[in-house]
Structure 1
């Protein structure tokens, strides 16, 4: 059996990667099993914006949003697409220009009700990197650094954390590529392999998520 590791996602730090804009602007990536893109966006409180084909189109819309609001939008842009994974179809949601979607207990509880939802967020400016795994409306494991996990089963991912390239007892992870490691950890829990090609060519159903949707947002740690 082949296990995903941070090395499999080293492309997320490549200058030519379509993910470069998301990494620089701040992002939240959420994977939800068995709920379609339209419904996931609805539960996020998003205002529908139509379909954008290709990651470049998603980035273009995000840049336009920044220009419209002079760099401080009152909402964030999210694109959702159906992807294959463990146990059937999943929805991948990528939020640009913010890191709150996957950190919002209200949203993650809603989309994981009766199923599984996994998220990781990153913001190069702060910087911040968070991982959350929800099962049937409850946080199973959430952490910024592996040494400080929270949730109903805080130690449940320790073995996988080691496999992907992090150290469970590490509270600083010097030199660790946490973005890539979180992609790999999400793959272990969802069966979804996110690739450059997937992000570059997907037809994203988009929506604008207003600030008020994050009233109860927080790291859940």
Structure 2
């Protein structure tokens, strides 16, 4: 697979100082919402937010959208960094999670398979796990594309997502997807 850098100016511009988690789970949105402890019937349709401050408080809704065989979750907080949660969400399937807080230049990335973290990167700690053999070639290609080694959320994590899910997360894809928004129980959040 030949990876190509993404234009993330829309994300690094509008969301530059905001915290966000993008989580990809190979399951239906209804299954994902249930695993999060929510009720699908309580989730209402709405667009991907143009304004990152629209949902910026704890307890604000999470958005879920179907993208092919995957459910994309947008959380305006650190949902994608809760290891217990992502392990549970990944049981019986694959999960990929990326989270960032641009104002502090922090980012997190996880790849889970059937309840096991296969690869992790976290904040200032860097690699939380060893790079598995399945990602070595991809990581080398990403290093060639980004020789200055920027933070993962500035491009590399999106290429890892594309490699692991087949989803190229673009502004058009997210803003043209049909989202449903709802609140999940506070105990679910890290």
Same-fold call, TM cutoff 0.5: yes
1:178 to 141, 152, 166: 152
2:73 equivalent to 1:93 = yes
The Cα of 1:163 is off from its aligned counterpart by 1.3
C-alpha separation in 2, matches of 1:102 and 1:117: 10
In the alignment, what sits opposite 1:51? 45
Question: TM-score scaled by structure 2?
Answer: 0.82
Where does structure 2 lack aligned partners over 5 or more consecutive residues?
none
The Cα of 1:108 is off from its aligned counterpart by 0.9
The Cα of 1:23 is off from its aligned counterpart by 4.1
C-alpha separation in 1, matches of 2:150 and 2:51: 31
The Cα of 1:107 is off from its aligned counterpart by 1.8
C-alpha contact (below 8 Å) 2:106/2:124 kept by paired residues: no
Residue 209 of structure 1: SS of its match in structure 2? coil
Cα deviation digits, residues 110-136 of structure 1 (max 9, x gap): 221111101111001222111101001
RMSD: 2.9
| Number of residues of Structure 1 aligned to a counterpart in Structure 2 | 184
2:186 equivalent to 1:192 = no
Question: TM-score scaled by structure 1?
Answer: 0.71
The Cα of 1:95 is off from its aligned counterpart by 1.1
Cα deviation digits, residues 175-214 of structure 1 (max 9, x gap): 6152111011111011112222111111101122354322
The Cα of 1:166 is off from its aligned counterpart by 7.1
C-alpha separation in 1, matches of 2:152 and 2:126: 15
In the alignment, what sits opposite 1:42? 34
Structure 1 runs, 4 residues or longer, greater than 6 Å off: none
